[in-house]
């Protein structure tokens, strides 16, 4: 405690703050990269005129509340206050669209990764580039706005993501970490910059040439991990900490996406490593040894925070429907006056799911709160179904919803591992799905048919990963690569708790997914039958 207090008072602690889908969280770390304090703020997106968004007021109130709660934690634990930091960094949910005019005014409400409203643009750009452009990418949103002839497009002088916006407002710098930038526009890993040939192809489109801006001028500047992204301005310090205690001049790391911080938090930035982040959404990332053989609309190509090419399977839906069902069981317990915590309910239900049939006994679920491009859905409707002779019991019911949370991920990863023959030595799991020991981990191992490791640090997640990236910026040795820094100075050879896939579970999940694929047309019909 004394050491942490002295560290904080001397301005040597490092802070990472991440804007997740349901929570903004800050983690303060010491010089050994260990968390010493944290604070958070819960928030939710809203559906505004058919678009998933967060308001600017929500963003800034959330950031300030998160930082204030971190400061309260510091005061409670160490009896001191944060006045300066060795480094700082911001990360957020990747992709999305925030366009600004020359006065810095946001031209349309923030369009998040969750929106599946850019199908036409994504298809055209994928064909133009011969490179998969997912619907959630920033360039797809921009081009869809062009195709829609939206009034605001002519006034754009800059567009960015949520993390890029926060960084710009607090430092004055229009920059972005390469991992986050790879969710805006395709990256050339050799140059660690946007793909020049694709920029030219985009700029030469007739409907793009009609606008006064140049695509190269309205994108953020790309920076790899380790570069200084700017310094906290006096105005920025006041925005983050209205009390006025926090001093300006703190070096700020290039803003990153939650994919990049997830890779960092699980030490999976080296070739043949990968990670799966499972929360509101779920995505798998594998660092590639060589290029994929062909373009797949289910596979995105992004980068690590240092610029290596990564194959990514991103699914919009993971635990939201599962959480809703668990909430129903909590409501049932409360009705009988049972004083049972949510943690205990999750633990019991998840553990009991392991007793279910390997193929879920004829039960089937779609967890689609929102659209899911991997299976061709522009909108989602959660659905549970069963055959008349299904084995309807609690274990099978919960196992089905655990399978459902990973089903679209499995469909995409089967292409990566079975068709493209991509090799991965270990997948690292992190996120809420892995909190109950051995359950989510074992089911993921079955889905991927690969060893899955969970580290102690995985519970700290993205904000801790962002803090580590900020620490790397100011503490790396000359020429020290991010992978070496993580292996030698952060993880010290730690491999985590590893679970190998159980062959019976693998066969069961494979059988389940075949039934799931057959039912996709029914899910599409449900979308039409139950319009929003």
pLDDT band at 459 (very low <50, low <70, confident <90, very high): low
Domain hosting residue 392, numbered range: 268-454+502-532
pLDDT band at 242 (very low <50, low <70, confident <90, very high): very high
pLDDT above 90 covers a percentage of the chain that reads 84
Confidence (pLDDT) at 504: 97
Confidence (pLDDT) at 529: 95
Residue range 7-59, pLDDT digits in tens: 999 999 999 999 998 899 999 999 999 999 999 999 999 999 999 999 999 99
The per-residue pLDDT of the chain, averaged, comes to 94
Interval 441-463 mean pLDDT: 85
CATH of the domain at 387: 3.30.420.40
Q: Give the span between the Cα atoms of 13 and 6, in whole angstroms.
A: 10
* 228's tokens: 């200084």
Confidence (pLDDT) at 461: 78
Q: Give the span between the Cα atoms of 48 and 416, in whole angstroms.
A: 35
Kindly give the interhelix angle for 320-335 and 394-414, rounded to the nearest 10 degrees.
170
Query: Which helix (H) or strand (E) is 256 found in, with range?
Result: strand 256-257
Give a yes or no: residue 402 inside a domain.
yes
Q: Give the span between the Cα atoms of 137 and 159, in whole angstroms.
A: 12
Question: In DSSP terms, which residues pair with 428 in a beta bridge?
Answer: 275, 453
pTM of the full structure: 0.84
Question: In DSSP terms, which residues pair with 466 in a beta bridge?
Answer: none
Q: Give the span between the Cα atoms of 124 and 98, in whole angstroms.
A: 21
The pairing of strands 230-231 and 187-188 is unpaired
Q: Give the span between the Cα atoms of 481 and 487, in whole angstroms.
A: 10
Question: In DSSP terms, which residues pair with 15 in a beta bridge?
Answer: 28, 88
Give a yes or no: residue 317 inside a domain.
yes
pLDDT band at 2 (very low <50, low <70, confident <90, very high): low
Give a yes or no: residue 325 inside a domain.
yes
Given a contact cutoff of 8 angstroms between Cβ atoms, the answer to whether 87 and 14 are in contact is yes
- Specify the number of domains making up the chain: 1
pLDDT at 1 over 70: no
List, in order, residues 6 or more apart from 330 with CB less than 8 Å away: 340, 342, 345
Confidence (pLDDT) at 373: 85
Give a yes or no: residue 129 inside a domain.
no
Given a contact cutoff of 8 angstroms between Cβ atoms, the answer to whether 455 and 266 are in contact is yes
The more confident residue out of 314 and 139 is 139
Confidence (pLDDT) at 74: 98
Q: What are phi and psi of 23, to 5 degrees?
A: -155, 135
Confidence (pLDDT) at 532: 80
Confidence (pLDDT) at 431: 79
Q: Give the span between the Cα atoms of 52 and 50, in whole angstroms.
A: 7
Residue range 385-416, pLDDT digits in tens: 999 999 999 999 999 999 999 999 999 999 99
Confidence (pLDDT) at 496: 81
The pairing of strands 14-19 and 87-92 is parallel
Residue range 472-514, pLDDT digits in tens: 999 999 999 999 999 999 998 777 889 999 999 999 999 999 9
Confidence (pLDDT) at 395: 98
Q: Give the span between the Cα atoms of 213 and 89, in whole angstroms.
A: 30
Closest alpha carbon to 481 in 311, 256, 310, 269: 269
Give a yes or no: residue 21 inside a domain.
no
Confidence (pLDDT) at 388: 95
Give a yes or no: residue 135 inside a domain.
no
Interval 203-213 mean pLDDT: 97
pLDDT band at 139 (very low <50, low <70, confident <90, very high): very high
Interval 307-321 mean pLDDT: 93
Give a yes or no: residue 123 inside a domain.
no
pLDDT band at 266 (very low <50, low <70, confident <90, very high): confident
pLDDT band at 433 (very low <50, low <70, confident <90, very high): confident
Give a yes or no: residue 360 inside a domain.
yes
Confidence (pLDDT) at 46: 93
Residue range 80-123, pLDDT digits in tens: 999 999 999 999 998 899 999 999 999 999 999 888 899 999 99
Interval 447-454 mean pLDDT: 92
Q: What are phi and psi of 344, to 5 degrees?
A: -65, -40
């Amino acid at each position: 405690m004394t050491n942490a207090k002295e560290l904080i008072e001397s301005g040597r602690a490092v802070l990472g703050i991440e804007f997740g889908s349901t929570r903004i969280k800050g983690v303060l770390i010491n010089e050994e990269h260990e968390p010493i304090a944290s604070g958070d703020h819960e928030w939710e997106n809203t559906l505004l005129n058919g678009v998933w968004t967060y308001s600017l007021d929500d963003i800034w109130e959330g950031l300030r509340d998160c930082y204030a709660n971190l400061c309260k934690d510091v005061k409670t634990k160490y009896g001191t206050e944060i006045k300066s930091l060795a480094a700082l960094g911001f990360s957020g949910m990747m992709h999305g669209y925030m366009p600004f005019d020359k006065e810095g005014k946001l031209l349309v409400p923030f369009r998040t990764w969750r929106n599946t409203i850019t199908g036409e643009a994504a298809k055209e750009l994928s064909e133009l580039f011969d490179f998969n452009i997912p619907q959630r990418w920033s360039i797809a949103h921009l081009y869809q706005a062009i195709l829609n002839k939206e009034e605001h497009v002519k006034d754009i002088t800059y567009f960015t993501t949520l993390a890029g916006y926060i960084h710009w407002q607090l430092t004055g710098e229009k920059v972005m970490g390469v991992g986050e930038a790879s969710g805006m526009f395709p990256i050339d890993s050799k140059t660690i910059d946007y793909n020049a040939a694709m920029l030219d192809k985009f700029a030469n489109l007739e409907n793009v040439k009609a606008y006064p801006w140049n695509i190269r001028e309205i994108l953020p500047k790309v920076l790899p991990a380790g570069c200084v992204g700017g310094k906290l301005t006096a105005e920025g310090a006041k925005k983050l900490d209205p009390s006025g205690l926090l001093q300006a001049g703190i070096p700020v790391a290039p803003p990153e996406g939650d994919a990049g911080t997830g890779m960092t938090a699980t030490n999976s930035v080296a070739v043949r490593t990968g990670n799966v982040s499972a929360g509101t959404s779920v995505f798998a990332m594998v660092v590639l040894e060589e290029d994929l053989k062909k373009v797949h609309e289910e596979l995105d190509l992004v980068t690590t925070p240092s610029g290596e090419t990564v194959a990514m399977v991103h699914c919009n839906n993971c635990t939201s429907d599962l959480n809703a069902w668990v909430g129903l069981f909590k409501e049932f317990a409360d009705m009988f006056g049972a004083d049972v915590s949510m943690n205990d309910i999750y633990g019991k239900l998840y553990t009991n799911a392991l007793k279910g049939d390997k193929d879920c006994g004829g039960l089937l679920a779609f967890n689609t709160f929102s659209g899911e491009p991997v299976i061709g859905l522009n909108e989602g409707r959660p659905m549970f179904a069963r055959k008349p002779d299904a084995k309807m019991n609690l274990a099978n019911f919960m196992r089905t919803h655990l399978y459902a949370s990973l089903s679209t991920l499995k469909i995409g990863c089967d292409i990566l591992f079975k068709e493209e023959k991509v090799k991965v030595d270990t997948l690292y799991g992190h996120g809420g799905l892995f909190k109950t020991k051995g359950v989510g981990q074992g089911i993921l191992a079955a889905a991927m048919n690969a060893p899955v490791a969970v580290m102690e640090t995985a519970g700290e997640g993205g904000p801790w990963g962002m803090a580590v990236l900020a620490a790397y910026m100011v503490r790396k040795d000359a020429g020290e690569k991010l992978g070496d820094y993580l292996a030698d100075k952060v993880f010290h050879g730690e491999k985590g708790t590893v679970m190998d896939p159980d062959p019976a579970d693998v066969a069961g999940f494979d059988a389940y997914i075949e039934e799931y694929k057959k039912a996709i047309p029914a899910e599409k019909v449900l979308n039409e039958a139950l319009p929003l």
